[in-house]
Amino acid sequence: MQHEFTIQVSPEIAANPEQLKNDVARKNGIPIDDIKHIKIVKRSIDARQRNIKVNLKLNVYVQEEYIYRPIELPDYPDVSNAPEIVIIGAGPAGLFSALQCVELGYKPIVIERGKDVRNRRRDLKAINQDHIVNEDSNYCFGEGGAGTYSDGKLYTRSKKRGDVQRILKLLVGFGATDQILVEAHPHIGTNKLPNIIAAIREKIIAQGGEIHFETRVTDFEIKSSKIHGVTLLNGDKIATNRVILATGHSARDIFELLYHKNIEIEAKPFALGVRVEHSQKLIDQIQYKCEDRGPYLPPSPYSIVKQVDGRGMYSFCMCPGGVIAACATSPGEVVTNGWSPSKRDQPTSNSGIVVELREEDFKPFSKYGPLAGMYFQKSIEQKAWSVGGETQRVPAQRLIDLVEGRVSSDLPETSYAPGLTSADMGMVFPKFIHSTLKEGFKAFGDSMKGYLTNEAVVHAPESRTSSPIRIPRDWQTLEHTQIKGLYPCGEGAGYAGGIISAAIDGEKCAIACVRSIEKKN
């Protein structure tokens, strides 16, 4: 017989199956020999008190043998000769759109400007070592999208958007550890995610779908407010009346194309700031309230939100045991992001610390219409490139020096491989962002004793938190409000905020697209 229990235990007991079995038996009056297996269904850490606990949801098999049943992928049909749907972008939204198309019996043709996951690595090495930015292959563009080489976090607050468990189970089916189904804040890791992405691609191709790498879309053919095809950089044209547009939050050329073709887009508020790096040991000491976290607790994350003069400042994409990466997508700009390997075993931690932006903040760029926020974002990245020395070195400042308005006389080595240039953050950001950061970090230090230290280093900028554009769509059909057959999708269109929510939106757009085709047939 199976019993479901929710218990709270010490980290040591949670990590030791025999101790956990003894604890469950003792607390619930079950003879220990009757317990045949304990399956952990959900796990989270409660570090609010000095005596840290682990919350566990368990399925306990009492006088019943446990049979392991691996997660199986759907029975994908062969779609070699099926009707075609064009998908632009091979990030999570595009890939899960393609999988859903295959599952529903349609042939996806995925067009990706970047390279496959393996060949992307050469361009990541080039930006880190040689300061060379490939506009089509970098941390943002290429198979798997931005998430592939920038952490692989799977946590989402978007529970109402769709079936989170379905996406997680698909990832497990393609090679992820089944622990992502258990952890409250699941994470695959940048070192593990590429193989999973490659497995998804191989399945799509094996079932008759197509994926075209190093292929950039440069135009849309539109007649009578309907999509009729796409034009590629090499001049080739693909005729189609269904396009799922899943290009990601950094596809500025696509935003420009839509704007200049008078296809409706909207400015969208986003957040922008810096990436700050601490030692992981310090963050563990602050969060766990102990000198050493020991062998049973993972590297601690943190999450913090403050208001400064009515404007929000908060942590974003916190990477425990991780590093800071160079994420520019064009020459003449610098951009930072963070990632953690699967074990989160680096000695440093980092987090984006970003300031809430409003549409009125973009007024100096109002001549660009709905692209004003994008040009605001771009101007800061270009200014940081100039201040940093016109390479991929980033402007940096010790944390207390930033708060007290001093240029740092020296900087410690950080995980950011291209290097640092000591600079005043006021040279990079407009006054309202700079002052918000200074006051906000003081408030952070009040809440997290020890956080405000000059051993922490601030790197600028963290600017690609989300898309500065929303591409409007009908809430029922998910088609563009103006162009029939065009399905704005995922993070770049303003409808997602990470791997899971983008994957969910990709599936939704594929279903809506297929429903439209079958309705007309």
Tell me the average pLDDT across 412-431.
97
Mean pLDDT of 268-280: 97
Cβ atoms of 425 and 460 closer than 8 Å: yes
Q: Is the pLDDT of residue 155 over 90?
A: no
Instruction: For residue 322, give both structure tokens.
Output: 């991780």
pLDDT surpassing 90 at residue 156: no
The yes-or-no answer to whether 2-62 and 84-265+471-520 have a common fold is no
Give tens-digit pLDDT for 455-496: 999 999 999 999 999 999 999 999 999 999 999 999 999 999
Q: What is the CATH number of domain 2-62?
A: 3.30.70.2700
Q: Convert 367-423 into a string of H (helix), E (strand) and C (coil).
A: HHHHHHHHHHHHHHHHHHHHHHCCCCCEEEEEHHHHHHCCCCCCCCCCCCCCCEEEC
488 CB-near residues (< 8 Å, 6+ apart): 245, 471, 472, 473, 478, 480, 494, 495
Q: In sequence order, what E strands does 13-89 have? A: 35-46, 53-62, 84-88
**Per-residue pLDDT, 190:** 78
User: For position 160, what pLDDT does the model report?
Assistant: 57
pLDDT score, position 218: 98
Confidence of residue 134 (pLDDT cuts 50, 70, 90): very high
What's the rounded Cα separation, in Å, for the pair 236 and 469? 28
Tell me the longest C-alpha to C-alpha distance in the chain: 74
DSSP state of 328: -
Over the stretch 377-386, which tens digit does the pLDDT of each residue have? 999 999 999 9
Task: Give per-residue pLDDT as tens, 47-63.
Answer: 988 899 999 999 999 99
Q: Look at residue 158 and tell me whether its pLDDT is greater than 90.
A: no
Q: Write down the pLDDT at residue 150.
A: 61
pLDDT at 157 over 70: no
Q: What is the pLDDT of residue 161?
A: 61
Res. 23: pLDDT tops 70: yes
- The pLDDT assigned to 191 comes to 82
Spatial CA neighbour of 420 closest among 430, 410, 428, 433: 410
Supply the pLDDT for residue 146: 85
Could you read off the pLDDT of 370-413 as tens digits, one per residue?
999 999 999 999 999 999 999 999 999 999 999 999 999 999 99
Domain 84-265+471-520 has CATH 1.10.287.3240: no
Read off the pLDDT of each residue in 293-304 and give the average, rounded to a whole number. 95
Task: Delimit the domains of the chain by residue range.
Answer: 2-62, 84-265+471-520, 271-462
Q: What is the pTM of this model?
A: 0.95
The token pair that represents 310 in the structure block: 């009515």
Please give the average per-residue pLDDT across 207-229, as a whole number: 98
